[in-house]
């Protein structure tokens, strides 16, 4: 072969290698963008703590933590990475995953649903409009219904399975925030009504008030940004927790769970979120958002002030910034 053609061949062979190298993010790059996101939004005061649960109004609105856990277990963090808030609706993801593990993905699709309601997370009218269906496991109706379908011989066992499952995703033993739990128990009449309505439609797997109490407890579990990132990274990593190396869910299910996150993760604003980031995510009124870059990482952000849909303002901004800067939108690949 002539030297010129030989050089050309080497060049052509090297193109994919160089390209692959460029598209791999370095740890320094990731940490730098996490720091930037923190600095950029640290003093952003937009939004307001949830107050329909009295104890949530008292949580420090300044809490702001950002953590990324990647599939290899590397951790990147800035701000209040270890400060705890209540998990609230983000818990719905993991109880749905538990029921999916126990009963299969078809059960979740057929019994609870996997479609958007287009209505607020605690809507009662949505149940009526959909002929008694909760529509999906991430609105309150579907989440209470999901909790009722956790296989257990009694309420105590239902609870211990739920908390053990969430702890396995987080890679540490999680516990309940008693102040939030007690406050939320006295403010959960609407959820009781939702559960009773679903019971009238014969959709509940256990007593509606018992399921509502267990659901309320599940929402009161304390988590921090690192927990959220680890829980997300476990789903991103096809069901294996990258920190504990334990398989938490069958590899067949994370894609199903992420599909529901895309449809209904950020309440009735899920479309706008997807349009901006392309990422499956779930928010909670405690101020946490968990976003997943499939096959790569989990991003957990905690900041209590919410927008009118119930989604943390700073968490949305920080994740959007990180996604843009690091080119993480899977729909752009
Ligand atoms: N425990 C809250 C409720 O049932 C969760 C709501 C949320 O985070 O969206 O209203």
Q: In this structure, what CATH number is given to the domain that contains residue 295?
A: 3.40.710.10
81 belongs to a structural domain: yes
Q: Are 223 and 229 in contact (CB under 8 A)?
A: no
Q: Average per-residue pLDDT in the chain?
A: 94
CA-nearest of 167, 114, 118 to 142 is 114
331 belongs to a structural domain: no
Choose one of 143, 213, 219 to mutate for the ligand 1 pocket test, by most ligand atoms within 8 angstroms of C-beta.
219
Write out residues with Cβ below 6 Å of ligand 1: 88-89, 121-122, 140, 184, 191, 219, 284-285, 310
280 belongs to a structural domain: yes
5 belongs to a structural domain: no
15 belongs to a structural domain: no
Give whole-number Cα distances, 314 to 30, 135, 268, in Å: 19, 28, 18
12 belongs to a structural domain: no
Ligand 1 atom closest to the Cα of residue 310 is 9
Whole-model pTM: value is 0.92
Q: Are 114 and 108 in contact (CB under 8 A)?
A: yes
Q: What are phi and psi of 70, to 5 degrees?
A: -95, 175
What are the tens digits of pLDDT across the range 245-261?
999 999 999 999 999 99
The total number of structural domains in the chain stands at: 1
Q: Is the pLDDT of residue 2 over 90?
A: no
Q: Is the pLDDT of residue 16 over 50?
A: no
1 belongs to a structural domain: no
What residues contact 205, with CB distance under 8 A and at least 6 apart? 145, 148, 149, 150, 211
| Domain around 33 | 26-326
Average of per-residue pLDDT across 168-186: 97
DSSP code, position 106: H
167 belongs to a structural domain: yes
Q: Are 112 and 67 in contact (CB under 8 A)?
A: no
């Amino acid at each position: 072969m002539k030297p010129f053609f030989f050089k050309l061949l080497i060049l052509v062979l090297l193109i994919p290698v160089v390209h692959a190298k460029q598209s791999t993010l370095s740890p320094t790059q990731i940490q730098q963008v996490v720091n930037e996101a923190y600095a950029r939004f640290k003093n952003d005061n937009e939004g307001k703590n949830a107050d329909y649960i009295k104890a949530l109004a008292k949580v420090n609105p300044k809490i702001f933590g950002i953590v990324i856990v990647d599939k290899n277990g590397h951790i990147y963090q800035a701000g209040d990475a270890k400060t705890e808030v209540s998990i609230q609706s983000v818990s719905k993801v993991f109880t749905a995953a538990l029921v999916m593990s126990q009963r299969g993905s078809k059960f979740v699709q057929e019994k609870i649903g996997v479609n958007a309601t287009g209505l607020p997370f605690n809507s009662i009218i949505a149940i009526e409009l959909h002929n008694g269906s909760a529509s999906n496991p991430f609105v309150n109706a579907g989440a209470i219904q999901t909790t009722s379908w956790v296989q257990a011989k009694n309420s105590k066992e239902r609870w211990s399975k739920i908390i053990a499952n969430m702890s396995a995703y987080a890679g540490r033993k999680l516990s309940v925030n008693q102040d939030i739990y007690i406050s939320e128990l006295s403010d959960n009449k609407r959820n009781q009504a939702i559960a009773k309505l679903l019971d009238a439609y014969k959709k509940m797997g256990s007593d509606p008030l018992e399921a509502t109490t267990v659901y309320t407890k599940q929402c009161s579990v304390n988590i921090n940004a690192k927990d959220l990132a680890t829980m997300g990274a476990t789903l991103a990593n096809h069901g294996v927790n990258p920190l504990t190396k334990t398989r938490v869910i069958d590899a067949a299910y994370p894609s199903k769970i992420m599909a529901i996150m895309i449809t209904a993760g950020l309440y009735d604003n899920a479309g706008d979120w997807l349009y901006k980031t392309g990422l499956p995510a779930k928010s909670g009124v405690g101020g946490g958002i968990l976003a997943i870059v499939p096959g790569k990482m989990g991003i957990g952000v905690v900041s209590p002030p919410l927008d009118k849909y119930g989604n943390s303002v700073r968490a949305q901004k920080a994740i959007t910034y990180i996604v843009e800067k690091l080119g993480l939108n899977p729909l752009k690949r």
